[in-house]
């Protein structure tokens, strides 16, 4: 069990599509393969050290809207500390606000979040769908 003395860090969240996410969503969004490719948080290696998480550890991403648990993933693309990337999908949709500030688009890039290590399991897609959309997976 992780101790209560673990770090919580602030990050700027960037969302987007990935090739792996795109390929697996065409097969089945309820599959383990989709979970492995979408319920992830790509992080700068230095940020992972500061947060004391390793590749594959679970992290909780928190906003004022809610929180989700995903897998931390060491990124070779994120060179700047303080930035995380999470692919589009139910996990990220669950924690982004619906307010669009007149643009018609939610804040998918540059949104402030908090991240902490956790022993909690990765958020279940069926529970996310039911909670956020009233849809049973």
Tens-place pLDDT, residues 38-63: 789 999 999 999 999 999 999 999 99
Residues 6+ apart with CB under 8 A from 3: none
Residues 6+ apart with CB under 8 A from 68: 39, 60, 61, 91, 92, 94, 95, 123, 128
Q: Phi and psi for 70 in degrees, rounded to 5?
A: -135, 175
In angstroms, the CA 119 to CA 71 distance is: 11
Q: Which domains does the chain have, with CATH numbers?
A: 9-130 (2.40.40.20)
Q: pTM of this prediction?
A: 0.81
- pLDDT at residue 28 tops 80: no
E strand or H helix at 51: helix 45-51
Confidence of residue 3 (pLDDT cuts 50, 70, 90): very low
Structure tokens at 66: 């809610």
Structure tokens at 107: 């804040």
């Amino acid at each position: 069990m992780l101790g209560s003395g673990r770090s919580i860090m602030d990050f700027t969240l960037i969302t987007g599509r990935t090739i792996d996410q795109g390929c697996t969503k065409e097969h089945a969004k309820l599959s383990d393969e989709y979970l492995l490719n979408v319920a992830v948080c790509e992080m700068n290696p230095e940020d992972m050290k500061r947060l004391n998480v390793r590749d594959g550890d679970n992290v909780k991403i928190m906003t004022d809207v809610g929180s989700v648990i995903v897998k931390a993933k060491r990124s070779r693309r994120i060179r700047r500390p303080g930035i995380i990337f999470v692919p589009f999908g139910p996990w990220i949709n669950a924690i982004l606000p619906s307010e669009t500030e007149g643009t018609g688009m939610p804040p998918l890039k540059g949104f402030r979040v908090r991240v902490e290590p956790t022993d909690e399991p990765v958020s279940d897609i069926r529970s996310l769908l039911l909670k956020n959309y009233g849809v049973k997976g």
